[in-house]
Amino acid sequence: MSTLILLVLVWTVAAVVFSAVTLVRVLRQPAAPAPGRVPPLLLLRPLDEPTEAELQNLALPLPDDLPVRQVIVSPYRPRLAEGVEWQYSDPPCLNRKVGHVLYALDTLRRGEDQILVVDADVAVDRALLEDLSSALSAGAALSTAAPVPEGGTGLGAAALRGLLRSSQHSFVALDLMSLGSKAICGKALGLSGAALEALRGLAGHIGEDLELARFLHVRGLPVTRVAATARMPLGRVELPGVVRRIRRWMLVLRAHRPGLWPTVPLLLAPTPLLLLLAVWVGSPAVVTGLAVLLALRIALGLALSRGTPEATDGGWEWLLGEATLLAAWMGSLAGRTVDWRGRCFTLVRGGRMERTVPGGES
């Protein structure tokens, strides 16, 4: 057996074991606890340059029987649905989302309110509010929900669904396989007092969710992923825009967690490369291992997609998600600059941002 075949086989076996463990953990997830009484909630919705889909999400009615005060924090005043408030905010800091939240807290917070922060591209429902709140009441320093794209047309929408809903990079799978600091997404968060204090030091960071989770983990404070998901209705999404967005995620990961960055092609998105290598080396052992990996990844995709719209698409969209993730990761090999919210930044270690001019740093 040649050295190349041996290396490919070892890589395939590692990916098989990783997928098998993930599948077992997904299938063995405990049932979600029943939500408790919901205390008064301050629901902050930071917003910059809104899209039509975001405005539609912000107009969705919230349950009348929950004590929730929803406030849109933005320099732009949208048409407000009944019961929704608007707070003007135009922060000068580099991370405008964090700036919006901090300004709103200093301006609006009432003593015992629980603080929830949910992005405008998320459709808020009862389950999300109750679960984020219940986790905080149970002692979590930070509660978070996995983002789950829904619907949409175009290859970009399919890639996002495959990546975030039915691949190893879904935040359900990432949470179950995390060692140490949790891999979380900041689309929907419940923030304790400790998390709010930590957030004040992150106005110059991109990837504040990763840094927040790391800060809390170092101090032994629990971060909880809730059973409810952050549903993200999609419209038509083009693939190049998705690749650019995920490349930015990969650059953020490289800045925050450089040790985890190489695991993306090795464990999270190995299938496209292993398919090519299996054809190249032509080894029966590699082909057999790859067949097992494909079966496990299909099963994992279906398990992760249970109970969501287009659940059966989990059988194939994960592969498109992996290919998109791999392309974005390869794009992150060169350069440290990202275009974010209409501005250009250079990332430095720890996820801190420095303003730069487009094309000035690569």
| Extents of the domains making up the chain | 3-28+251-354, 41-237
Helix (H) or strand (E) holding 172: helix 171-177
Main-chain dihedrals φ then ψ at residue 331, nearest 5 degrees = -65, -25
Give the pLDDT of the chain (362 residues) as one tens digit per residue: 689 999 999 999 999 999 999 999 999 998 878 888 899 999 999 999 888 899 999 999 999 899 999 999 999 998 888 889 999 999 988 899 999 999 999 998 777 789 999 999 999 999 999 999 999 999 999 999 999 999 999 999 999 999 999 999 999 999 999 888 888 999 999 999 999 999 999 988 888 999 999 999 999 999 999 999 999 999 999 999 999 999 999 999 998 888 889 999 999 999 999 999 999 998 999 999 999 999 999 999 999 988 666 555 656 899 999 999 999 999 999 888 888 767 788 888 777 888 876 654 43
Q: Give me the pLDDT at residue 126, please.
A: 95
CATH match for 41-237 among 3.90.550.10, 3.40.47.10, 3.30.565.60, 3.30.230.10: 3.90.550.10
Record the pTM: 0.92
Residue-wise over 284-316: b if at least 16 C-beta within 10 A, else e? Answer: ebbeebbeebbebbbbbbbbbbeebebeebbee
Residue-wise over 253-270: b if at least 16 C-beta within 10 A, else e? Answer: bbbbbeebbebbbebbbb
Main-chain dihedrals φ then ψ at residue 345, nearest 5 degrees = -130, 150
Residue indicated by tokens 């990783």: 18
